[in-house]
Structure 1
């Protein structure tokens, strides 16, 4: 019973957040925001480096990166020593969109968390951490 209740609530919350996030991020997508954040942490990555962070195929990553490059969020640059290697970098526009997207996501989550006390927010994060670390 608990597992079913948790699953229903988690699915509803995830669906609601995703829908709101996608609407407010447009034209940026949640996937693109995630890639921008990964790139900003690493400064530069190869497309193959993204596979371990995303639940998708190399072909899908290429498609997403193509779209992001067309929208001037990223640039691709061949390695000077090994021309087979391509590095992905975030542009100024990409940086600005990452900042905007992170703020939107934070606002959506804070609106949900504001429904419960500060103590319960801390407890929720603690308990989710316990659940997440056991898997």
Structure 2
């Protein structure tokens, strides 16, 4: 009985250590993501964009004219949250809404010419923020980081 209790205790202890290690790694990953998002948001303020407005514009450039529901799904945004972002972008004349001719319930969103220009400008800002983080790593460390993240995503 004494040995069984010892083994149970040891398993719980090792599980706790492992969970703590995973938690520390998770905290580092999410902390870095928050820091990059915050720094990007702050840098994009100079051209009147938020980080999420930038991400939505990137999605529109990648996919072209796209239903709002697909953007909301891609970035895990609520419909209300996305509507708010699209409203702001439309106010700035960076995107336009277009109703589907085949199904009037479907609303597409697309970048305007002004939106494409602003996106090019904002990409430069984003790359500056990103390089401020990644410049701390060597080329080998960057490749290793890429390899590790690719492994986690597979």
- What's the Cα RMSD here? 1.7
User: Which residue number in structure 1 is paired with residue 122 of structure 2?
Assistant: 101
- 1-structure distance, mates of 2:91, 2:151: 41
- 2-structure distance, mates of 1:13, 1:79: 40
The structure with higher relative contact order (CA 8 Å, sep 6+) is 1
TM-score (normalizing by structure 2): 0.77
Structure 1 stretches lacking a partner, 5+ long = none
Going by fraction, where is helix more abundant, 1 or 2? Answer: 2
Structure 2 stretches lacking a partner, 5+ long = 1-19
SS at match of 1:51: helix
Shift of 1:33: 1.0
Task: Identify the match of residue 14 of structure 1 among 27, 33, 36.
Answer: 33
Q: Deviations over 1:59-94 (max 9, x none)?
A: 222121111111111011223344333221101221
Q: Computing the radius of gyration over CA atoms, which structure comes out larger, 1 or 2? A: 2
- 1-structure distance, mates of 2:111, 2:146: 31
- Out of 96-105 and 20-29, give the one that drifted further: 96-105
